[in-house]
Chains A and B, each alone.
Chain A
Amino acid sequence: MSKKRLHGAHVPHWKNTAGDKPEKMPTPAVVTIPMSMHIGAPAKPVVKAGDEVKVGQLIAEAGGFVSSPIYSGVSGKVKKIDDMLNSAGQRVPAVTIETDGKQELFEGIAPPKVTNLQEFLDAVKNSGVVGLGGAGFPTAVKLTVKDLSMIEAVIINGAECEPFITSDTRTMIDDADLVWQGIELLQKYLKVKRVIIGIEDNKPQCIGNFRKMCKPGCGVEVSALPAIYPQGGEKVLIYHTIGRIVPEGKLPIDVGAIVINCTTLAAVAKYIQTGIPLYEKCVTVDGSAVKKPKNVIAPIGTPLKDVFEFCGGFSSEPKKVLYGGPMMGIAVPDLEQPILKNTNAILAFNEKDAELPKETACIRCGRCIAHCPLNLAPVNIETAFRLKDAASLDILKVNLCMECGCCAFVCPANRPLVQVNKLSKAMLRNYQNEQKALEEKQKAKEKAKKEGSK
């Protein structure tokens, strides 16, 4: 345990739905399943228009090593396979299925044979599980470690530091057994000696649950972490549990850590136990515009409007709708957007909460610096960005920024610091590419000169 704590922000908790057992929603009429719900290559559809599919049936296979297969969460007929506009404004291929309401389970579902590491990793890949905490990084890739002795600790992320979201909390309450089975799988196949379950101390029930399950000598410990945002950030969690700092450009495994979200692990365990792949998600539905906030289990691909409807519809017109929490969530352009694999919450806000605060002059109060978990200086990054000073952006380490949003949350002048950091990263990338190209040009020139003089 490290003594020093990283900075952060005291964001409100608003865990209104923590006590609500997730409810399964009725099957939507149509689901639209994008082929890109993870980091890496898009999945390749294996069905075509007109095909009948059942619940749990493979509809797209992984499009490469860093990719993930996709399964249908409904039974019905494939209507079309074409491009859709996702929340980031990109065109991605998507499979649209018209449901028949029967919800018949695919007959091929059976627990995979897992006896060794390779079979375990294959099973993780086939489960379709990606980082469900929000990142969407294929779990099998994360667990593929060159040398197992590199793993000193696996940290189970149950921090759930974002306001509103309680889907991980529900996993830890309702599916604690699955999480535990997942831990045992990691211990068995990845030879993990130390497992730490990191949970924010505003979830005493989850902490108590797991503490009871930890028998002496089981190699699992529960770490109750102060509820200071962004406790669930990968780098923050690693620092607060094993005291290591992940250097720039390195991965957690380089400091001996693997961080895996509790719901992700439960989904892996579920597949290995039962053969049921990831095709539905528990999402927290909340926000000031939602009539009856609750946790909902919805098939992946369900349009957001159907999920909101299941929660009693809107109490007032939604002016902003998010995938994920209010600190790092992504605003969606319309309610036709589907539930994705890595959607853990959908929030809808009324006009007042959606209003963008007016940006005023920076007063150099230093709050953004004081609250940055990684000791960055957002105010200086902003200045460098406005001066188009890419070299300074490198010195200021903008690439370390995890976009947690603490700086913008505390800024009294409402400056869009996260947006500037995102743009600064792009500016720095362009600059570095240009520098590289320039160097290569120079080298080519010198080479040509040398050859010419010969």
Chain B
Amino acid sequence: MSNMTVSVSPHIKDKTSTKSIMRDVIIALTPALIASVLIFGMRALLVTAVCVAFSVGSEWAFEKIVKKPNTIGDLSAAVTGALLAFNLPVGIPLWQAAFGSIVAIVVVKQLFGGLGQNFANPAITARIVMLLAFSSTMTTWVFPGLVSSATPDALSGATPLVILKGETSAALPSIRDMLLGVHGGCLGETSAIALVAGGIYLLVRRVISWHTPVAFIGTVFLFTLILGEQPVYQLLSGGLLLGAIFMATDYSTTPSTNWGRIIFGVGCGLITVLIRVWGNYPEGVSFSILLMNILTPYISKLTAKKPLGGAEV
């Protein structure tokens, strides 16, 4: 008997793996993490660390309990933890951050079957749960910045979206501060430059395609332009860039065809603006992505590619 392997073709494989994709996402999130530490201080790092630790830990524990193979090595739980942290205010009590991480991994991801099976984005859904459960801490924007050009008042006060909504008399930060991220907001969402840099990295590495982010951001820009709602500020504030680049491009919860991705992005953009302009919440990115997540199977079906040369069934 020979001891040669006999397997079905192909016998070679490109280098991309789930782990390499997740590693790329973590690399892409790094500029925003560095920016958040510079803007909000070391506590940003602490909150991120807690979220990542509890995400990875709860994935490990859940899989241990239900006797599933351990998958923390694919780094997807770490990505979820980091994304959730980026969606939290820096002053969030750590136990709340930990709670949110467990909700994201156990309830939203694992109970639906684990990686690739969940229909809703775990980080987004957990953030919404936290927003409803811990409304006050989730909307308290403390700002103990290390490097800041803005006045302490503007920093600790309101987010640009709250200001845009006219709910406070504070002045809008300058465009330069908006780009750098020196303004109130969740810890990972403020620095436009850092987020775009991460997005470009993901595009270059072909981890994401341009369709969803461009459709999402473009729709928000155009829609607010038509409504006369300061499109540039709308684009740079809130979780739009973070959401459009990192969360609306999540594989399992968004369509897998390019046209589907465009529809998804446009839908997210419309819902975001509707909530921002007419809704009760100043921010609508999370809700828009979650709502579109629910529509994803239908968008996928609608935009399925036609097999080349396929006869009618």
Contacts and interface: CB of A to CB of B under 8 A. Distances in A.
Interface of A: 6, 9, 11-12, 163, 235, 239, 245-250, 318-322, 326-335, 349, 353-354, 356-357, 360-367, 369-370, 373-377, 379-380, 394-397, 400, 403, 405, 408-414, 416, 418-419, 422
A326 B115 CA distance: 30
Contacts of A403: 9
B4 A332 contact: yes
B11 A329 contact: yes
B305 A326 contact: no
B116 A414 contact: no
Contacts of B116: 361-364, 413
B5 interface: yes
Contacts of A360: 17-18, 71, 74, 115
B309 A374 contact: yes
B16 to A, nearest CB: 5
Contacts of B258: 370
Given A363-B116, A364-B116, A374-B307, A333 B6 contact: yes
B228 interface: no
Interface residues of B, number: 39
Contact of A397 (B2, B256, B310): B310
A380 B305 CA distance: 12
Given A364-B251, A412-B18, A412-B20, A247 B309 contact: yes
B311 A248 contact: yes
Contacts of A327: 9-12
Contacts of A418: 8-10
Contacts of B20: 412
Contact of A248 (B8, B115, B310): B310
Nearest to B310: A397
Nearest to B296: A364
Contact of B306 (A239, A330, A375): A375
Contacts of A412: 16-18, 20-21
Interface of B: 2-14, 16-18, 20-21, 71, 74, 76, 114-117, 251-252, 256-258, 304-311, 313
A287 to B, nearest CB: 10
Nearest to A330: B9
A360 B116 CA distance: 10
Contact of A365 (B14, B74, B251): B251
B9 A329 contact: yes
A338 to B, nearest CB: 15
B14 A245 contact: no
B11 A246 contact: no
Contact of B307 (A328, A397, A422): A397
B12 A369 contact: no
A416 B114 CA distance: 20
30 contacts: A246-B309, A320-B4, A320-B5, A322-B11, A326-B11, A327-B10, A331-B6, A331-B11, A357-B13, A360-B115, A361-B117, A362-B116, A363-B115, A364-B251, A365-B21, A365-B256, A370-B258, A374-B307, A376-B307, A377-B304, A379-B256, A397-B310, A400-B307, A400-B310, A408-B13, A410-B14, A411-B13, A412-B20, A413-B116, A418-B9
A396 B307 contact: yes
Contacts of B17: 360, 412-414
A381 to B, nearest CB: 10
A333 B4 contact: yes
Nearest to A355: B5
Contacts of A377: 304-305
A313 B118 CA distance: 51
A131 B17 CA distance: 36
B8 A422 contact: yes
A331 B114 contact: no
Contacts of B10: 326-328, 405, 408-409, 418
A260 B115 CA distance: 45
A364 B251 CA distance: 5
Most buried by A among B2, B304, B308: B308
Nearest to A335: B2
Contacts of B252: 363-364
A246 B311 CA distance: 11
A284 to B, nearest CB: 15
A374 B12 contact: no
Given A412-B16, A418-B8, A418-B10, A361 B251 contact: no
A291 B9 CA distance: 24
Contact of B12 (A163, A245, A362, A395): A163
Contact of A318 (B4, B117, B309): B4
Nearest to B312: A248
Given A318-B4, A335-B2, 14 more contacts: A246-B309, A248-B310, A321-B4, A326-B9, A327-B11, A327-B12, A332-B4, A333-B6, A334-B4, A361-B71, A374-B309, A403-B9, A410-B14, A422-B8
